[in-house]
A = this chain, B = another copy of it.
Amino acid sequence: MGTKQQITERIGSILRESKLSVTETRTRILELFMKSNGALEHSDFEKLAGQSFDRVTVYRTLQTFLDKGIIHKIPTTDTSVRYALCKSECSEHHHHDHHIHFKCEECGNTICLDETDVPQIQLPKGYAAHNVEVVVSGVCKSCK
């Protein structure tokens, strides 16, 4: 994980690479992503950070991070939107988010399984696939 110093350093370079100003809100939101071992949704930021974040700023920050390829969305069957950090090989124009997601039914956590391959899907004739999203639900390592 690294020292607090190193994390701050890493966050700074992520933001600078994306040509974004290094601000307190952005730094703290990225810290929360790095500390959490799973996906976060909008309401988590207000909870995790107390009253200190303005709702609007969180919405705009997450949207900016999405645009720059710093985070990605994870599909859900409810109205919440979950976000997770992209790996370092991702950038605004080049994504390597080809991994599956796992949602634990016990702890509710959603994590990215980077080691697990996305399966090939044999579609019916006439369909062209651009992207495959896989979300497996079950019981995770820690909850077993």
Task: Name the interface residues of A121-142: CB closer than 8 Å to any CB of B.
Answer: 121-141
Is the C-beta of A76 less than 8 angstroms from some C-beta in chain B?
yes
| Proximity bits, A74-102, B CB within 8 Å = 1, else 0 | 11111111000000000000000000101
Stretch from A3-11, A13-21, A24-32, A111-119 contacting the other chain: A111-119
Decide: A129 and B121 in contact? CB cutoff 8 A. Answer: no
Question: B138 touching A130 by the CB < 8 A rule?
Answer: yes
Chain A interface bracket (under 10, 10 to 19, 20 to 34, 35 or more): 35 or more
Looking at A120, A125, A128, A137, the one whose CB has the most chain B CB atoms below 10 A away is: A128
Assess whether A73 is interfacial by the CB under 8 Å rule: yes
Residues of B within 8 A of A138 (CB): 123, 127-131
A67 sits at the interface (CB 8 A): no
Residues of B within 8 A of A75 (CB): 75-77, 133, 135
For the complex, is A35 an interface residue (Cβ under 8 Å from B)?
no
Interface flag for A105 (CB, 8 Å): yes
Q: Answer yes or no: A60 CB below 8 A from chain B CBs.
A: no
Answer whether residue A144 sits at the interface, using C-beta atoms and an 8 A cutoff.
yes
* CB within 8 Å for A123 and B116 given contacts A74-B77, A128-B144: yes
| Residues of A participating in the B interface, judged by any CB pair closer than 8 Å | 73-81, 100, 102, 105, 113, 115-117, 119-141, 144
List 28 A–B pairs whose Cβ atoms lie within 8 Å, in order of A's numbering: A75-B76, A75-B133, A75-B135, A76-B77, A77-B81, A77-B133, A100-B121, A102-B127, A105-B130, A113-B123, A113-B124, A116-B122, A116-B124, A119-B119, A119-B120, A121-B134, A126-B141, A127-B138, A127-B141, A128-B139, A129-B136, A129-B137, A129-B138, A130-B137, A131-B136, A132-B136, A133-B137, A134-B134
